[in-house]
C-alpha cells in the first residue's frame, strides 16, 4: 500500500487558541496557513505583541544579570524599527 502524504506536518504543528479560532472562523484560511504554509503580513497588533513578548523573554532570561536596562532598550528599539 502506498504511503499517503499528510498536509499538516505533525512534528512542527503547535496547537494554539488562535489556530482553533482560525479554523472555526475560516477553515480554508486555516488550511492555507498551516497546511500550505502561506503567511499573511503581520498586523501592527501582532508586531507589538511579538516585540513585547521578546522583550519580556529577553529581560527575564538573558539580561537578568545586567544591571543597566540600556542594552535591553536598544535591542527593543532595533527590533521595533526592523519590524515597522
pLDDT digits (tens, 9 = 90+) for 29-59: 888 888 788 888 888 888 888 888 888 888 7
In a domain, 66, yes or no: yes
Does residue 25 sit in helix, strand or coil?
Answer: helix
Residues 51 and 31 in one domain: no
**Residue 75, domain extent:** 44-83
More confident residue, 56 or 69: 56
Judge whether residue 64 has pLDDT over 80.
Answer: no
CA-closest candidate to residue 75, choices 32, 67, 62, 65: 62
In a domain, 4, yes or no: no
Residues 26 and 54 in one domain: no
Residues 78 and 57 in one domain: yes
In a domain, 2, yes or no: no
DSSP designation for 43: P
Q: Alpha-carbon distance 58 to 62, whole Å?
A: 5
In a domain, 73, yes or no: yes
Per-residue model confidence as pLDDT tens digits over 15-30: 778 888 888 999 998 8
The count of structural domains within the chain is 2
Judge whether residue 1 has pLDDT over 60.
Answer: no
Residues 34 and 48 in one domain: no
CA angle, 60 as apex, 14 and 79 as ends, to 5°? Answer: 70
CA-closest candidate to residue 19, choices 41, 11, 27: 27
Amino acid at each position: 500500500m502506498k504511503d499517503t502524504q499528510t498536509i499538516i506536518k505533525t512534528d512542527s504543528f503547535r496547537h494554539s487558541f488562535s489556530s482553533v479560532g482560525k479554523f472555526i472562523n475560516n477553515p480554508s484560511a486555516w488550511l492555507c496557513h498551516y497546511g500550505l504554509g502561506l503567511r499573511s503580513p503581520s498586523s501592527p497588533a501582532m508586531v507589538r505583541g511579538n516585540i513585547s513578548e521578546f522583550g519580556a523573554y529577553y529581560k527575564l532570561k538573558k539580561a537578568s544579570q545586567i544591571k543597566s536596562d540600556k542594552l535591553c532598550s536598544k535591542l527593543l528599539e532595533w527590533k521595533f524599527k526592523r519590524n515597522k
